[in-house]
Amino acid sequence: MTTRAPPRGGGTRDPRSAGLAPTQRDRKVGSILAAARALFLDHGFDTVSMDMVARQAPVSKATLYAHFASKEELFTAVVVDEAERMTDEIGRIVTDRSDIAAVLKRVAEKFVDIFLSEQAMFLQRAVIGVVPRFPSIGAAIFESGPKALTEHLAAFLGEAHRASKLHVPNPTLAAKQFLSLVRGDLDITRLLLPAAVPSRAELETQIKAGIDLFLHFYAPFET
């Protein structure tokens, strides 16, 4: 798990951690996030307390509150960290501009794998259970997850358009369409009928059909 700097609140800073080097502080934050993630995943938001996180990390409560002023802030940091880690994987793929179809295939396969992963299930359950009470958590997840993913892919498609490899006048719209094409109805199936999730062969067929349709629609104009 990454250790991006979490949002800081007005908690009291632990004097024992104030003088730590950045790498030591990062390790403490990483330990806190790992402990909180495991607890939230196993017990849900409402059951987990800051005392439980401090014990599992293990850190003092003063250290915990020095980094995260509330359970809501800690929960946000955990789910944003997960969303960013998954999004970054797609971001690394689209740095390759050599073969448009091959890159889109890799993006689609990784996207579907991530979508069906335990981490994604955690994020989706978190959103459903918590966001109605804490809308700011949903906004944070959207910014670091779906929005960031769309922006990565839109940048790739925009460059392909400028290089005349595709005709994509609206890269952001095209990115959203591409992700919908390769995902299909996996979101509904996974939530309501988990036993009916398509086989790997069926997923590969769905991905190939989605890419073929996308590339046909956004094919560059012939000169």
pLDDT digits (tens, 9 = 90+) for 140-165: 888 888 899 999 999 999 999 999 99
pLDDT number for residue 101: 94
- Where in the chain are the domains? 15-69, 78-217
Query: What is the fold of 78-217?
Result: Tetracycline Repressor; domain 2 (1.10.357)
Contact 34, 1 (CB under 8 A): yes
Distance of CA 117 to the CA centre of its chain: 11
| Whole-angstrom distance, CA of residue 37 vs CA of residue 1 | 10
Residue 194 pLDDT:
66
Q: Which residues of 169-193 are buried (b: 16+ CB within 10 A; e: fewer)?
A: eebbebbbbbbebbbbebeeebeee
Q: How far apart are CA 20 and CA 22, in angstroms?
A: 6
| CB 89, CB 110: distance < 8 Å | yes
The contacts found for 115-118 with CB under 8 angstroms, 24 or more apart, are: 115/183, 115/186, 115/187, 115/190, 116/186, 116/190, 116/197, 117/86
Better-predicted residue by pLDDT, 16 or 94: 94
Which residue type occupies 119? Q
**Percent of the chain whose predicted confidence (pLDDT) is above 90:** 51
- Whether 18 shows a pLDDT value over 50: the answer reads no
CA-CA distance, 34 to 166, in Å (whole number)?
A: 42
Q: How confident is the model at residue 100 (pLDDT cuts 50, 70, 90)?
A: very high
Computed on alpha carbons and rounded to an integer, the radius of gyration of the chain in Å comes to 20
Place of tokens 């790739």: 156
Token pair for 34: 């790992």
- Answer CATH for 15-69 from 2.60.40.420, 2.60.120.200, 3.40.630.40, 1.10.10.60: 1.10.10.60
pLDDT, one tens digit per residue, over 19-34 is: 445 465 688 899 999 9
Surface-to-core class of residue 89, CB atoms within 10 Å of its CB (0-12 exposed, 13-18 middle, 19+ buried): middle
